[in-house]
Chains A and B, each alone.
Chain A
């Protein structure tokens, strides 16, 4: 038998760049042959490439872990699954099965939750755009509505007028908890007195009863202390409202924003080191609550965690379809999945794993996606040995925001599967075809082509 072949590589050696970690980065490999015991090769053979793969085991484990972290520290905790993070029906249904209610930010998401059988009273309706009709439906069905701006107060008052009854609503706040940039475009600002003004306006109108406070600081918050400051301010504001207007605050919805083990670009420490554990967040929040609340007073604590629950449960398998050498000598690959499916490639450096061991020295390489667009880069600099066409790469974590923001652009969107806890693989969304692209299009008669032949 002939000896095994390894692609020829020549690499310049840099003095003084000897590594500190006792292994050679020139030969370090990341190999993944399976996801939850199901071979990557089998998945692709059956469902095609690219392919979104979700792990039920990880989803349930993350949920349980986070739920335990909070519910063992505070007696009245509710999770609201942030639909926009990933609203594949199977994922939402799994979250609801675990006990989560729904958190939606549009009429579309609201309808999606209802279509999944979630009753209105188990839906939190957030967001800056709630159309009058959607708002009215949500009110009729008993949803929790967190008001974003003054015009929404007017809109809700119109609904109350129409229904001839008072409505209970929540107020979205934005506040300074030491997280910058501050998401001040949503809700009413606390420190400037805008939020108090809004409450005054509600009281004066007499149609709305303020019974909840909501605040979402932002996403991927790496400082547990920020939540403590947020909670403290929310509780203090609740007390102020009680005193000034006699409102009683029944829930504190502190939003989401807890990080997943994902690597932000520009952060060089691995996420396991750079990020606090979920227990640290829970501890900081529970302590701040205990300190700020009156003894025996336990308003509902709502968490709208998205990415921390789903991100690490999502993988994208992609195939190398071409290898290139750029004019500057850089090794480049074309993969069949790009920013059309990996929207978060802008901010995060993914973990990229090969489907097999490959010989040869690592090189700084670029992975491009399939789009004929200059922006389509999955990773502009990743250490890889020489890969050949047909190899599969598994990209992770990609469970949060990538599927919901995937584009129907240039390429079809691929299938999504869920691997069950016993290794069963269920197709949860079929791959798209031309009918999905053109179904809604209408051809003016004068352009209609005569059938040929």
Chain B
């Protein structure tokens, strides 16, 4: 998880990886997930938080969190 903690993230969803110099744009919900992952929450807990906060079913939220995690992995951010 320490890769994540090195990222610079601003509120507009701009993400900078100082190790590689890459920058990223993350959507609002992506930003929420990123924040919670950094704080060490489980995927399950994050999905639940999304379902509570937004107009989305728990099942869809679970699927999206898993998918988002795959993107992060792919971008070499976790």
> Known: A12-B24, A329-B71, A361-B25. Is A7-B64 also a contact (CB below 8 A)?
yes
B53 touches A9 (CB 8 A): no
**Could you tell me how many residues of chain B have their Cβ less than 8 Å away from some Cβ of chain A?**
29
Interface assignment of A26: CB less than 8 Å from any CB of chain B: yes
B65 touches A329 (CB 8 A): no
**Do the beta carbons of A325 and B70 come within 8 Å of each other?**
yes
- Chain A neighbourhood of B67, CB < 8 A: 8, 323, 325
Cα–Cα, bound, A388→B23 (Å): 27
- The interface on chain A, measured as residues whose beta carbon lies within 8 A of the other chain's beta carbons, has a size of 22
Contact at A10–B30, with CB atoms within 8 Å?
yes
Within the assembled complex, what's the spacing in Å between the Cα atoms of A10 and B7?
13
Which residues of A from 270 to 295 have beta carbons under 8 Å from B? none
Q: Give the distance in Å from the alpha carbon of A406 to the alpha carbon of B70 in the complex.
A: 36
Measured between beta carbons, the chain B residues less than 8 angstroms from A3 are: 53-55
CB atoms of B74 and A329 under 8 A apart: yes
Closest to B65 in A: A8
Write out the residue numbers on chain B whose beta carbons fall within 8 Å of the beta carbon of A388: 60
Q: Tell me how far the C-beta of A127 lies from the nearest C-beta in chain B, rounded to whole angstroms.
A: 51
Inter-subunit contact B27/A10 (CB<8 Å)? yes
Interface centre among A4, A10, A388 (most CB of B within 10 A): A10
Q: Are A11 and B25 in contact (CB under 8 A)?
A: yes
In the complex, chain A residues 1-47 whose Cβ is within 8 Å of any chain B Cβ: 1-13, 26
**Is A8's CB under 8 angstroms from B64's CB?**
yes
Interface digits, B38-56 against A, CB 8 Å rule (1 contact, 0 not)?
0000000000001001111
Residues of A within 8 A of B (CB): 1-13, 26, 323, 325, 328-329, 359-361, 388
15 A/B residue pairs, CB under 8 Å, sorted by A:
A1-B55, A2-B55, A8-B26, A8-B32, A8-B65, A8-B67, A9-B27, A10-B30, A12-B22, A12-B75, A13-B23, A26-B25, A329-B74, A329-B75, A361-B27
